[in-house]
Structure 1
């Protein structure tokens, strides 16, 4: 039987070239420890976001977050896709990530989504450093979320994120998701996305 500890070891990236250990260890769990996030934990995560790079330092990212057992948590759960609802309730903490669509001059900020992605990269590495797993989810009904949370015009909810300390019980997942959790991780070779001199 696969234990969570064995799963974490199995999920360490089998990289072709040496990289920073926290990046090797990162994966997207669907099970989590029951341990709750403290106020200090949350502050540390958002401080990592706060110091992310952004175009002209506009910092267009915005987040809505909630602890399990709260009304906000249930609202976020209600905006997730049916597939994500099967497992996301294992996380003690949920977030919605959004970005501001226009710059301070009122023009479209073409780089806002890029900057949100940079902030989530910072968040991910900081979380890994703290022993927290993140599972970023595209499967969220953003239009519903905009209404449920009264998101002001000019802001766009993009993704949801499940957060929790690594751990938990594989049996908390349906059988088909247990298989996915134990599946070998794969990535495209560098040659398929990094081209020197010209597009190939």
Structure 2
């Protein structure tokens, strides 16, 4: 993994020291041609499985497919055109959905999206440890995906994710996405813009 990440040459200017897996993670769109296996997917799912969730409801639901399979193509068809334009090189795709109500359906689970985020936090960190990039996407037809994969009304398909090993050729991407892929420095808001030891301060 170290050799692959060296080729990327991304700089993460952290304000405080953090774990290297977090500092080295980034959302590549150009993936190496090396295939992911079903075992790889199950390792990622297992990492997500142990994420915390409100009331331990584990409201996440995942639909996954490897490139060359019918499920992969069905997920691909649910993505918006922009994402379809670059994602075809990804060795694996999956959808992240949530169960939107509590155990007995008596009330809405307002924390379900948060819990899916915790699940994916585990997944992307595990992926990073394996040299696998994860690019998460909001750009999909949620209702189409819900219907396509037979989710009941009390579920919401929230995101899609492309997985593949780092080290792909940026020239496979459009010019604007090549520029994004080859940026050497990652950017984030300063802590002072989002964290307050006291009252919230409006932007």
- 1:26 aligns with 25
Summarize the alignment of residues 132-147 of structure 1 with structure 2, pairs less than 5 Å apart. 132-147=132-147
Local SS of the residue matching 2:163 = strand
Post-superposition offset of 1:12: 3.5
Post-superposition offset of 1:6: 5.8
- 1:114 aligns with 114
- 1:64 aligns with 63
Post-superposition offset of 1:96: 0.3
Call closer, same or farther: CA 1:12–1:128 in 2, change over 3 Å. Answer: farther
Local SS of the residue matching 1:145 = helix
State how far apart, in whole Å, the 2-side matches of 1:51 and 1:128 are: 17
Q: Which stretches of structure 1, 4 residues or more, deviate above 4 A after TM superposition?
A: 4-7
What's the C-alpha RMSD, in Å, of the aligned pairs?
A: 1.3
Segments of structure 2 that go 5 or more residues without pairing to the other structure are: none
Residues 66, 72 of structure 2: 8 Å contact kept:
yes
- TM-score (normalizing by structure 2): 0.92
Local SS of the residue matching 1:158 = strand
Local SS of the residue matching 1:185 = coil
Local SS of the residue matching 1:87 = helix
Give the length in aligned residue pairs: 196
- 2:36 aligns with 37
Summarize the alignment of residues 38-117 of structure 1 with structure 2, pairs less than 5 Å apart. 38-106=37-105, 107-117=107-117
Segments of structure 1 that go 5 or more residues without pairing to the other structure are: none
Stretch of structure 1 that moved more, 37-46 or 23-32:
37-46
State how far apart, in whole Å, the 2-side matches of 1:83 and 1:27 are: 19
